[in-house]
Structure 1
Amino acid sequence: MSDFRQLTENVLVSPQLALDDVAAAAAAGVAMIVNNRPDGEEPSAPQGDEIAAAAAAAGLNYVAIPIGHSGFSEPQVNAMIAALEQAEGPILAYCRSGTRSTLLWALASAKQGMDPDTIARTAAQAGYDVSPIRSLIDMLAAR
């Protein structure tokens, strides 16, 4: 069952996707799926290659930017910025609960100059809390 949550006009986040969710994403106008979940994190969940194949079959682009429990890195933030810039329409980012995807979007948005308070409000409206990384958001926005 799809649980796509709108962050912005062009960014949605979701908990772990089932293969059927890929077709639902395509029907909803999504152009790219961003996988923020490392393979093997939950062996019973569809792994990246399965989601990538379903995305290709549905005509969607697919990018993997896995975020493990060690946290976020600048290359991951830059990869998310690149995905946002390259997408030819809305993107759907997913992880186990949608939190890591939201936090990565928040960091990328801050690095691109979005106001930190706007980022926090936007995430909260989708049901996500960015307070664990608020200092990083503020730092990136100040650059």
Structure 2
Amino acid sequence: MKPVRINDRLSICEQLSTSDVSAAAGSGFRALINNRPDGEDFGQPRASEIAEAAAQAGLSSTHIPVRAAEISEDAVRAFQRALADSGGQVLAFCRSGTRSLTLWSIGEVLDGRMAKDDVIPFGRERGFDLSGAVAWLGAHGH
């Protein structure tokens, strides 16, 4: 688990194992957002397994499964609600972290906190390719 800090409330990382969940709690995270659909890869922990490990570690857990080509504004808003309702530091994850950061960055642009032109450089500085977020924004009139 190698979280990348996005802001004061949010960090992003790649797929967590159930053992990573207790380490996340020990690192000060209060909530998890799982953006990975079940069954994407062989051996990937199910969302229910992550949620159970989170509950045992005292973390809240929200599952907002998305595929890159199927991101919706509803998923973006659900991500924002989960972040707002977290009560502390949030660790969001998917296979690589890109989908989680895509959801966050789309919401930032939709709500006027980030310019569309800043999305790709923001991602690049943190090791993520957010060209999909910019494509989504363009396809949805932003």
Please name the residue that 1:20 is paired with: 19
Answer whether contact 2:35 2:92 (CA < 8 A) is retained.
yes
* Structure 2 SS opposite 1:21: helix
Please name the residue that 2:127 is paired with: 127
Any residues of structure 2 matched to 1:1-143 within 5 Å, and which? 2-116=1-115, 117-137=117-137
Instruction: Give 1:42 deviation, angstroms.
Output: 1.4
Answer whether contact 1:38 1:68 (CA < 8 A) is retained.
yes
Instruction: Give 1:85 deviation, angstroms.
Output: 1.1
TM-score by length of 1: 0.88
Structure 2: gaps (5+ residues): none
Instruction: Give 1:9 deviation, angstroms.
Output: 1.6
| Cα separation, 2, equivalents of 1:118 and 1:26 | 31
Where do 4+ consecutive residues of structure 1 move more than 3 Å? 117-122, 135-140
* Structure 1 SS opposite 2:69: coil
Counterpart amino acid of residue 63 in structure 1:
T
Answer whether contact 1:34 1:62 (CA < 8 A) is retained.
yes
* Structure 2 SS opposite 1:8: coil
| Cα separation, 1, equivalents of 2:86 and 2:118 | 22
Instruction: Give 1:24 deviation, angstroms.
Output: 1.3
Paired positions, count:
141
| Cα separation, 2, equivalents of 1:59 and 1:123 | 30
* Structure 2 SS opposite 1:70: helix
| Cα RMSD, aligned residues only | 2.0
Instruction: Give 1:96 deviation, angstroms.
Output: 0.6
TM-score by length of 2: 0.88
Answer whether contact 2:68 2:132 (CA < 8 A) is retained.
no
